[in-house]
A and B are shown apart, each in its own frame.
Chain A
Amino acid sequence: MTTLVLSCAIVAAGLYGVMTRRDLVAVLASVEVMLGGASLLLAAYAAAGTAPAAGQGYALLVLAVGAAGAAVGIALLVSLVRRGRSRTDQITEVRG
């Protein structure tokens, strides 16, 4: 129960950061915080289950995928920063 509350709090803190921070580096860091919270939830549920080893394997898989994602995110960030755009209010050309 404690880990459940803790991981939800971490995910919520990350989501808050993604939505409010203006610096793209901080946004990417907040994304990683969210992913960390979700991995913690996975590991906690796995530890409580009948096959903890399998569950912890999945948690490690999530971390590895998160690292790969961060590499892509940082590559995108560098390509934007090189053109002098490092804040969310500077990337408003496309409308969504």
Chain B
Amino acid sequence: MSFLPYAPFAFGVAAAVVAMVFDAWGDRRSAVAGAVALLAAGAAAAAWTGTVSGLQGEAVRSGGSMSLAPAACLALGALVVAGCARSLSTDRRGSRIVALSALTAASSALVAAAGDVGVLFLAVEMLALCGYGLVALGGTDRAREAAMKWFVQGSVATVVFVIGTAVLMGRTGGSLRYSAIAALAAASPDVPVAVGFVLLIAALAFKLGAFPMHSWMPDAYETAAPAAAAVMASAGKVGPLAAAVWLAVAVTGSAGSRVVRVVAAIALCSIVFGNLAALRQRSLARMLAYSGIAQVGYALVGVPLGSRSSSVLVFAVLYGVTAAASFVLVEALHRTDASWDGTIGGLAGLSRRSPALAASLAVIMLSLTGIPLTAGFWGKFLVFAYASVGGYRWLAIVAVLGSVVSFGYYGAAIRAAFIDDEATGEAPDEPVTDGVRLVTGAVVTLSAVIVLAGVVPLATGLEPALRMLIR
């Protein structure tokens, strides 16, 4: 057995251990630096295993497009921790947030790469437990409350996952390897198999925060530290989406048609509910959380498309970058203006106070809407285009309409930053510290990546860009 397929996850776990060890010595800067270095090494290792053929672990899959999602999870974890490095290395809880963020990235990568439902269960639970801890580390009473509520709901999702696993195991006779389960789905397209798959997808939908399993998400993202929310919203979403894609590809035949109908219904409800609820939000973090429900809905539009569903992976990675940027932006806004109350209205006058942050905000919001020349456009374009030629034109139309509605709230943030005047005169000038420069630089860099990813396919054509992502 080769150790190499497992190396990326080992790097991720090592990042968490290193962060805790340095924290015990009281050296929080080294904790952040060590975790970033090891997470980046893990991402590089995952990308490298994608280029090597013939590497196949016992319980994890690697090679080709299989390595895209794990590499993205670990890289997003490294990016977020590096971007929020200053606040994480000064806060008393910072190193614990770094450790749990690294474990979140590693377990999400393992969720994406798992080749066995037992491993998938272990990884999904690790992801969930890290999430509860990350929210509780927000430090306020509201954060603890949100974590407790999420924990109780998440435990019910765990039970659903175990029951789904038991049903599938009852049909395979003991094996939980993906290959055995895919063979089972092809051979016996009966109701229990469909029920097993639907239960697994329901448990994953809970982790993704899809409607109607979404109620933990706004509380968690609002009360957690922005760095923690950034990791949960980016790295923490890519892995479960990749696993959902695998489940939908594996289940074929008449059981498959039942399962994909459920996925399509979840996608539809998530898009409608997420967009309508986001329109009513005043808090920027809550708005991003509700819009995240809609974004998960857009991603799930591509899941029922069989072999074309790898477009979901592209969407997930591009959305992951944008979501990470959006929550690092929230962190930057808090640091540049300590009196900001977290509302969208409170962004008024941002373009005068901090032009760089205002421009980044515009890029991020346009990308989340899916406007051309940004990364978000290509993700939505691929998923919706494949959906409309793959027999889901109605779902693609709903998704496009949802995107149009979404400009109502994404555009409101841009309007507040650029057009609205401050209600209470000039805000007191905060001194521009190194920490502010670092986090502003991180937001601007991520926004530049979003624009580059939006523009490069125009110059090179879509195919070379896709070949880079999916080999």
Residues of A whose CB lies within 8 Å of any CB of B are 11, 14-15, 18, 24, 27-28, 31, 34-35, 37-39, 41-42, 44-46, 48-55, 57-58, 61-62, 65-66, 68-69, 72-73, 75-77, 79-80, 83, 85, 91, 93-96
Q: Is the CB of B162 within 8 A of A39?
A: yes
Q: Is the CB of A61 within 8 A of B219?
A: no
Q: Is the CB of A93 within 8 A of B163?
A: no
- Nearest chain A CB to B183's CB is how many angstroms away? 14
Q: Is the CB of A96 within 8 A of B215?
A: yes
Q: Within the complex, which residue of A14, A39, A68, A96 is in contact with B149, where a contact is CB–CB below 8 Å? A: A96
User: Taking CB as reference atom, which chain B residue is nearest A28?
Assistant: B152
B263 CB within 8 Å of chain A: no
Most A C-beta atoms less than 10 A away, residue of B136, B146, B163: B163
Complex formed: what's the CA distance from A73 to B147 in Å? 9
Q: Is the CB of A45 within 8 A of B162?
A: no
Of B167-175, B428-436, B447-455, the segment with at least 4 beta carbons within 8 Å of chain A is: B167-175
B151 CB within 8 Å of chain A: yes
B122 CB within 8 Å of chain A: yes
- Nearest chain A CB to B137's CB is how many angstroms away? 10
Q: Is the CB of B165 within 8 A of A58?
A: yes
Q: Is the CB of A31 within 8 A of B162?
A: no
- Nearest chain B CB to A6's CB is how many angstroms away? 13
- CB contacts (< 8 Å) of A61 on chain B: these are 118, 121-122
Interface residues of B in 166-191 (CB under 8 A from A): 166-167, 169-170, 172-176
Q: Within the complex, which residue of A54, A72, A83, A85 is in contact with B151, where a contact is CB–CB below 8 Å? A: A72
Q: Is the CB of A65 within 8 A of B174?
A: no
- CB contacts (< 8 Å) of A75 on chain B: these are 136
Residues of B whose CB lies within 8 Å of any CB of A are 118, 121-122, 125, 128-129, 132-133, 136, 141-142, 144-149, 151-152, 155-156, 158-159, 162-163, 165-167, 169-170, 172-176, 215-216, 218-219, 222-223
User: Taking CB as reference atom, which chain B residue is nearest A45?
Assistant: B170
Decide if the interface of chain A is mainly helix, strand, loop or mixed: helix
User: Taking CB as reference atom, which chain A residue is nearest B146?
Assistant: A94
- CB contacts (< 8 Å) of B145 on chain A: these are 80, 85, 91, 93-94
Q: Is the CB of B148 within 8 A of A96?
A: no
Using known A-B contacts A45-B167, A55-B174, determine if residue A79 contacts B136 with beta carbons closer than 8 Å: yes
User: Taking CB as reference atom, which chain B residue is nearest A34?
Assistant: B159
Complex formed: what's the CA distance from A76 to B151 in Å? 9
- CB contacts (< 8 Å) of B121 on chain A: these are 58, 61-62, 65
Complex formed: what's the CA distance from A72 to B136 in Å? 10
Complex formed: what's the CA distance from A62 to B172 in Å? 18
Q: Within the complex, which residue of A44, A68, A85 is in contact with B125, where a contact is CB–CB below 8 Å? A: A68
- CB contacts (< 8 Å) of A94 on chain B: these are 142, 145-146, 149, 219, 222-223
User: Taking CB as reference atom, which chain A residue is nearest B218?
Assistant: A96
Q: Is the CB of B162 within 8 A of A15?
A: no
